[in-house]
């Protein structure tokens, strides 16, 4: 069964600290893996998209990694800001345009 | 990135009435759009795939007669919740598929969502 699991479910950090979110997937065949940021009451916004041949991609303070062999990905946030408080969703695409969503990690950044 | 809009952003209606939600791709054409529903603290759940000029494809368990989808143009898809009930209260999000061009995949851009509350 195609599944995407994320950990932790929620995370609280202090402003300025770094954090890493994890994603494991069992989707096959695999096309690409995406990380989205979703603010409360808003639609998801794409942070990174990686195909199987890419093992790291950065977008500002966000750096995603992908290990297609172990089917794991991580999202590292550097020097967190209050505006980083949101849900971060790992999404995997197979051989169709349908996306398989993880349950998300809810990040709260406190001053 | 490309912009997708939704209207209205929030709507409150009485039980038994119908509500229409619009999804527009503002700066690109989208032959395919998706409709999702999201309950509090849960992830997005795909309801249906909307294809321009043809019937929508619904996911298992989604009533096609209750959630009417019309994709009449390359920039507009509408979702109508018919005879709405309190259990239909949710956050509805659409997305539009943009052709990959040089990319090996199609990018999917999400709208800002519509909060539906049925009293």
The average confidence (pLDDT) of chain A is 95
DSSP assignment string, A35-84: EEEE-TTS--EEEEEEETT--EEEETTEEEEEETTTTEEEEEE-S--GGG
pLDDT in tens, A46-56: 999 999 889 99
CB contact under 8 A, A89 and B97: no
φ, ψ of residue B86 to 5 degrees: the values are -55, -35
How many cross-chain Cβ pairs, A to B, lie less than 8 Å apart? Answer: 49
Residue of B nearest to A10 (CA): B41
Instruction: State the pLDDT at residue B107.
Output: 84
CB contact under 8 A, A103 and B106: no
- Percent of chain A's residues with pLDDT above 90: 88
Instruction: Give dist(CA B59, CA B48) in Å, integer.
Output: 6
- Each of the 119 residues of chain B gets a pLDDT tens digit; together they read 689 999 999 999 999 999 999 999 998 888 899 999 999 889 999 999 998 888 899 999 999 999 999 998 999 999 999 999 999 999 999 999 987 555 667 789 999 999 999 99
Could you tell me the two tokens for A53?
């041949």
How many other C-beta atoms are found inside a 10 Å radius of the C-beta of residue A27? 19
Residue (of A90, A95, A47) closest to A71 by Cα position = A90
Residue B42: list chain A partners with CB under 8 A: 103
In a mutagenesis test of the A interface, which of B2, B43, B97 is the best target, namely the one with the most A β-carbons within 10 Å? Answer: B43
Instruction: State the pLDDT at residue B100.
Output: 59
């Amino acid at each position: 069964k195609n599944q995407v699991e994320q950990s932790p479910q929620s995370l609280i950090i202090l402003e300025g600290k770094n954090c890493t979110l994890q994603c494991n997937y069992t989707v096959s065949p695999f096309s690409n893996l995406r990380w989205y940021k979703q603010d409360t009451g808003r639609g998801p916004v794409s942070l990174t998209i990686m195909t199987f041949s890419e093992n790291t991609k950065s977008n500002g303070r966000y750096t995603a990694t992908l290990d297609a062999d172990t089917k794991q990905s991580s999202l590292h946030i550097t020097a967190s800001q209050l505006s980083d408080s949101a849900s971060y969703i790992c999404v995997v695409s197979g051989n169709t345009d349908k996306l398989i969503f993880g349950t998300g990690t809810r990040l709260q950044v406190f001053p | 990135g490309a912009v997708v809009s939704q209207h209205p952003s929030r709507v409150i209606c009485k039980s038994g009435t119908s509500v229409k939600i619009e999804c527009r791709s503002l700066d690109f054409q989208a032959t395919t759009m998706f409709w999702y529903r999201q309950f509090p603290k849960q992830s997005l759940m795909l309801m249906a795939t909307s294809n321009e000029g043809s019937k929508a494809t619904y996911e298992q368990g989604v009533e096609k007669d209750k959630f009417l989808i019309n994709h009449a143009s390359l920039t507009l898809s509408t979702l109508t919740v018919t005879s709405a009930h309190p259990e239909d209260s949710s956050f509805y999000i659409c997305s539009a598929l943009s052709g990959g061009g040089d990319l090996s995949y199609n990018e999917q851009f999400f709208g800002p969502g519509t909060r539906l509350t049925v009293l």
